[in-house]
Amino acid sequence: MRLSRRRFLGGAAAAALGGAGVYELVDKLSPAPHRTVAEPAGMPAEQHVIDLGTVESEGVEVVVPPLHSAVVTATLDVSKPAGAQRELENALRELDARFALDPAGLVVTVAWGLPYFDRYVPAQAKLHLPYDRRARKPALLPTRTFPSDPQGTLLEENDVAVLFRSDRLDHIEFARNALFEKLSLFRATSIRRGFAGGGFHGGRSLPQKLAVAAGVPGADLIPEGSELFLGFTSTQKAGLGPRLIANHETLGYVDLRSGYFRNGTHMHLSHIAEDLEAWYLNFDFDERVLTAFRPGMTQVRQGTQTVAQGPGQVSSQRLLERQFKQTGRFGHSASIQAASRLLHDTVGEDGTVYPKGTAVPQRADFNTLDNPFAWTVDPKRDQWSDQPAAGVHFVVFNPSSDDFERNRLAMDGVLPDGTKLSVPPRTRAQGFNSILTTTHRQNFLVPPRRHRSFPLVEL
């Protein structure tokens, strides 16, 4: 089971497309999709919510993700936080006024790390940060590693992360410039860029085109039209959390305390390198299906990319354990679903009924050729390279750090009730883990829109 040897493609071809240059191909390779979604009436209270259109892919309703995403992480460079709050809020409002709040315009999400709350507003944070009553822990926890993480995974300590999402690269660049070049509030620590989709109407998808153009090993093996590098569609509507489900308050997991962070959520940000050649040269299609989804899925037509994962197809913990006992392996989706899907019909705080099997996490991940980032302030620490490499910037919204951790631990076979599906970390029996390498992680809190700028400093 040789899954360790890999070498990056060297040479001028890769170097020519290194760093940010490759992303400039995006607009040329895939024009922005036609969006039929109506503009939201007014600004939602949530920063993380984005209304996206859907298409049908192989009989399954699939959400069309924004073509481009970027994240800028930073530490702060402020001596007077109150003034900084006004300055940032004004800049964000100018962006709000300039761009529609949808993928054709721009969606900006400002998330704050524990170092910010600890250093700048410790007293207020003690009183107002939400508390996860289910976990009996703060809703925002120090970032941790997981069993399948390699030893070198960096736990970051940024004060802030800003997520930009748009079909237009120039919109993202305008906003990044407005917040990180024109203002002098931040010391950027990294810029992360990426893309998703683009192949829903036939032909090659954006990830495939860009990976091939960059000469990334395994690029030629990505199936035609694949939404992401690994060949399966991950944004099917029934598999994503509904609009407000990831809010702190919706499912009742979190005590909002003062209510300051009502309409807020938790965000986890990580970078994961993907070994495409190992995936496509060591796992045949059937094994890719049972690795990505669950053992026993033997009826999936060869070449299928969108495998239905709605509430009706959700794997229960019992099924997961039984199949593990039979086969000695578990699938990526099946293990996560044991933690990420509602176990019974649940009524949200606003009266919305969420049926059993509904997904809680709202994913906003996107593929990247960053290695590991498009730019970093500390290339040595981040082991930065200008050689493009296949990966994913994993961005996900959950009601709390603990909720994310439950999902991520389940991916490693540690289920919420403490059951352990015991296989060594990173073996091919353990879902995707053998071909993934997490390089960086950090937890953030996403305040509601009204408190997105330097939360709590006004108190």
Partner 1 sequence: MVAALAALALAAPAASAAPGGTKAGCPAAWLPGWQRLADKIDAPVYCPTWMPNPLDAQIGGQYEDIYSISKDRSYLVSFLEHGDLDSGDVHVNFRGYPGRTTIPKCQTIALEGAKTIHGVTNCFADPAGVKKAPGITATVYRVNQDADQWHILLAWRYNHSLYTVSEHVIPPYTYAQVVRNLGVLLKSLVLVRPQG
Contact status: 392 vs partner 1 (CB under 8 A): no
Residue 449 and residue 441 in contact, taking contact as beta carbons nearer than 8 Å: no
Contact status: 282 vs partner 1 (CB under 8 A): yes
Contact pick of 112, 283, 330, 384 for partner 1 (by CB under 8 A): 283
Contact status: 7 vs partner 1 (CB under 8 A): yes
Contact pick of 118, 284, 345, 458 for partner 1 (by CB under 8 A): 284
Contact status: 394 vs partner 1 (CB under 8 A): no
- The binding track of 254-273 with respect to partner 1, each residue x by CB under 8 A or -, is --------------------
Contact pick of 94, 220, 378, 458 for partner 1 (by CB under 8 A): 220
Contact status: 12 vs partner 1 (CB under 8 A): yes
- Considering the complex, state which of residue 26 and residue 246 has its C-beta at the smaller distance from partner 1: 26
Question: What one-letter code names the amino acid at 121?
Answer: V
Contact pick of 43, 55, 281, 459 for partner 1 (by CB under 8 A): 281
Residue 53 Cβ, how far from partner 1 at the closest point, in Å? 29
Contact pick of 2, 318, 325, 344 for partner 1 (by CB under 8 A): 2
Residue 278 CA to residue 288 CA, distance in Å, equals 11
Using the contact rule CB under 8 A, the part of the chain among 48-56, 248-256, 419-427, 446-454 near partner 1 is 419-427
Contact status: 277 vs partner 1 (CB under 8 A): yes
- Considering the complex, state which of residue 25 and residue 319 has its C-beta at the smaller distance from partner 1: 25
Residue 444 CA to residue 447 CA, distance in Å, equals 10
- Considering the complex, state which of residue 288 and residue 449 has its C-beta at the smaller distance from partner 1: 288
Residue 213 Cβ, how far from partner 1 at the closest point, in Å? 5
- How far out from the chain centre does Cα 149 lie? 17
Residue with tokens 């919109």: 171
- Residue 15 has phi, psi (to 5 degrees) of -60, -35
Which residues 6+ apart lie within 8 Å of 210 measured at CB? 22, 23, 25, 26, 29, 195, 369
Residue 210 and residue 26 in contact, taking contact as beta carbons nearer than 8 Å: yes
Contact pick of 105, 197, 207, 218 for partner 1 (by CB under 8 A): 218
Contact status: 150 vs partner 1 (CB under 8 A): no
- How far out from the chain centre does Cα 51 lie? 16
Question: What one-letter code names the amino acid at 252?
Answer: G
Contact pick of 76, 364, 423, 435 for partner 1 (by CB under 8 A): 423
CB atoms within 10 A of CB 116: 24
Residue 80 CA to residue 185 CA, distance in Å, equals 10
Q: Pairing relation of β-strands 154-155 and 436-446?
A: parallel
Residue 196 CA to residue 82 CA, distance in Å, equals 37
- Retrieve residue 369's tokens: 């050729």
Using the contact rule CB under 8 A, the part of the chain among 63-71, 97-105, 198-206, 427-435 near partner 1 is 427-435
- Retrieve residue 441's tokens: 């992680």
Pick out residues in 316-375 that bind partner 1 (CB under 8 A).
328-329
Residue 381 Cβ, how far from partner 1 at the closest point, in Å? 24
- Residue 122 has phi, psi (to 5 degrees) of -60, -40
Residue 281 CA to residue 231 CA, distance in Å, equals 13
Residue 95 CA to residue 108 CA, distance in Å, equals 9
Using the contact rule CB under 8 A, the part of the chain among 244-252, 366-374, 380-388, 421-429 near partner 1 is 421-429
Using the contact rule CB under 8 A, the part of the chain among 1-9, 95-103, 149-157, 352-360 near partner 1 is 1-9
Using the contact rule CB under 8 A, the part of the chain among 33-41, 70-78, 186-194, 422-430 near partner 1 is 422-430
Contact pick of 428, 449, 451, 452 for partner 1 (by CB under 8 A): 428
Contact status: 285 vs partner 1 (CB under 8 A): yes
Contact status: 23 vs partner 1 (CB under 8 A): no
Using the contact rule CB under 8 A, the part of the chain among 67-75, 132-140, 238-246, 418-426 near partner 1 is 418-426
Contact status: 1 vs partner 1 (CB under 8 A): yes
Contact pick of 217, 357, 391, 431 for partner 1 (by CB under 8 A): 217
CB atoms within 10 A of CB 52: 18
Residue 455 CA to residue 380 CA, distance in Å, equals 32
- For residue 188, what is the enclosing H or E element? strand 186-195
Using the contact rule CB under 8 A, the part of the chain among 98-106, 189-197, 212-220, 443-451 near partner 1 is 212-220
Residue with tokens 């481009």: 68
Residue 411 CA to residue 251 CA, distance in Å, equals 22
Pick out residues in 156-185 that bind partner 1 (CB under 8 A).
none
Instruction: Measure Cα distances from 59 to 100, 157, 308 in Å.
Output: 31, 43, 8
Q: Pairing relation of β-strands 54-57 and 60-63?
A: antiparallel
Residue 394 Cβ, how far from partner 1 at the closest point, in Å? 26
Residue 363 and residue 402 in contact, taking contact as beta carbons nearer than 8 Å: no
Give the interface with partner 1 as residue ranges (CB under 8 A): 1-2, 5, 7, 9-13, 16-17, 25, 212-213, 215, 217-221, 277, 280-285, 287, 328-329, 422-424, 427-429
